[in-house]
Structures are given as C-alpha cells and as structure tokens.
Amino acid sequence: MASLGRSIDELMQALRCLPGVGPKSAQRMTFHLLDKQRDGAQRLLDALAQALDKVQPCQRCQILSEQTLCERCSDPQRRQDQLCIVEMPSDVIAIEQATHYQGQFFVLSGHLSPLDGIGPEALGIPKLLTWLDSGQLEEVILATNPTVEGEATAHYISELVRARQIKVTRLAHGIPLGGELEYVDSGTLSHAFSGRESI
C-alpha cells in the first residue's frame, strides 16, 4: 500500500513531463504543492491554464506569443533586412540580453533530427523559405547551438539561403571568455587555433 491515492499518483506522473524531473523530484514537488504550498499550487494552476489558453507560436517567427503576430514581428522600428535563426525561444532572450541586435528572429523550436522524425517541415522551414523569397532580407545569421545537430541544421539552412543570393553568417566559434585555456575542450581549441585572427 505504498501509494497515497489516485489523484496524488496522477499529479506525480504528470509532473514528470517537466525537463529534469525524475520520480523522486516529482514526489517531492507533489507533496510540496499539496501540503505546504497550496497558494503556490493554485497560482501555478491559474498561470498554466492562462498560458495554455493564450500562448501559441507567432505566425511569422514561431516564437511563443500571446498575439498572432509577436511583439518583435509587429514592431516597425526593427530592421527588416536581418534575420537571426535560433533553436529555442530562450535563445532569443539570451541574444537580446547580450547584444544590440535589432533585426528579425526565426525560432526553429528544435533542430533537424531524422531519427526522431523531425524533418524540415516540423521546424517550419517552408515558412522560412517564403520569408527568404520575399526579397526583404540581406543577411541571415545562423545562431543554432554548436552541437552536431545544430551544425547540421545550420548547414542545411545555409544551403537554402545561399541559393537565394542572400548573405549568410554564423556565430563565431572559438575559446569562450574567462576560464583557462587548459580546460577548453580540444575541438574548440583546434577551431580557435586554425581560425586565429591577426591583431
């Protein structure tokens, strides 16, 4: 009889869809929500219901938004000739916090992964192609993750962009700021060495 009833078991199971949450954390979260944090649980319930109801991908750039067209896409002040392609909505926030980039974004919501059945359609590439064909763009910045899948996705998109005579750039690779050289992985170090810049 190591169970506390169906609603509690179901909540534990449901919490496991969160990234990084295993059985132990789910159990801890469940007791915390139902026992100590009932106000917090009610707030989470309301926020989740509201977000699920209101938030959907922007029709143009696929970022999560409360409007059909997100704030960035409907802002006429932003540059229309630059497009930065990222994997996740959080990458948009990271880039905005770190840079002064004022162009457009396109969120793939993932990377090409044929084994998981994620092809160009799932990433919204057809929509991207329409955008590339619109003639507005002068530069496409590829800012996918520096992983094997991210690089493959960037390569795939770069071919499509280049075929339309649009300039395509990629975030610079090299050693990150801070830290020590001996702890930089060999792939990065080799990349930074062969791509050394004159000063």
- Is 149 among the residues that bind its own copies (CB under 8 A)? no
- Is 48 among the residues that bind its own copies (CB under 8 A)? yes
Shortest distance, position 186 Cβ to its own copies, whole Å: 28
**Shorter beta-carbon distance to its own copies: residue 45 or 159:** 45
Shortest distance, position 110 Cβ to its own copies, whole Å: 8
Task: Kindly write out the interface string for residues 103-132 of this chain, putting x where it contacts its own copies by CB under 8 A and - elsewhere.
Answer: ------xx----------------------
- Is 64 among the residues that bind its own copies (CB under 8 A)? yes
Whether the Cβ atoms of residue 123 and residue 109 lie closer than 8 Å to each other: yes
- Is 195 among the residues that bind its own copies (CB under 8 A)? no
- Is 184 among the residues that bind its own copies (CB under 8 A)? no
What residues from 11 to 30 belong to the interface with its own copies (CB under 8 A)? 11, 13-15, 17-20, 25, 27-30
Q: Is the dihedral of CA 8, 9, 10, 16 positive or negative?
A: positive
Q: Exactly one of 37, 136, 169, 188 binds its own copies (CB under 8 A); which one? A: 37
- Is 63 among the residues that bind its own copies (CB under 8 A)? yes
- Can you give the three-state secondary structure of the chain, one letter per residue? CCCCCHHHHHHHHHHCCCCCCCHHHHHHHHHHHHHHCHHHHHHHHHHHHHHHHHCEECCCCCCEECCCCCCCCCCCCCCCCEEEEECCHHHHHHHHHHCCCCCEEEECCCCCEHHHCECCCCCCHHHHHHHHHCCCCCEEEECCCCCHHHHHHHHHHHHHHHCCCCEEEECCCCCCCCCCHHHCCHHHHHHHHHCCCCC
Q: Exactly one of 23, 49, 119, 187 binds its own copies (CB under 8 A); which one? A: 49
User: What is the contact surface with its own copies in residues (CB under 8 A)?
Assistant: 1-8, 10-11, 13-15, 17-20, 25, 27-38, 40-52, 54-55, 57, 63-67, 70-72, 88-90, 92-93, 96-97, 109-110
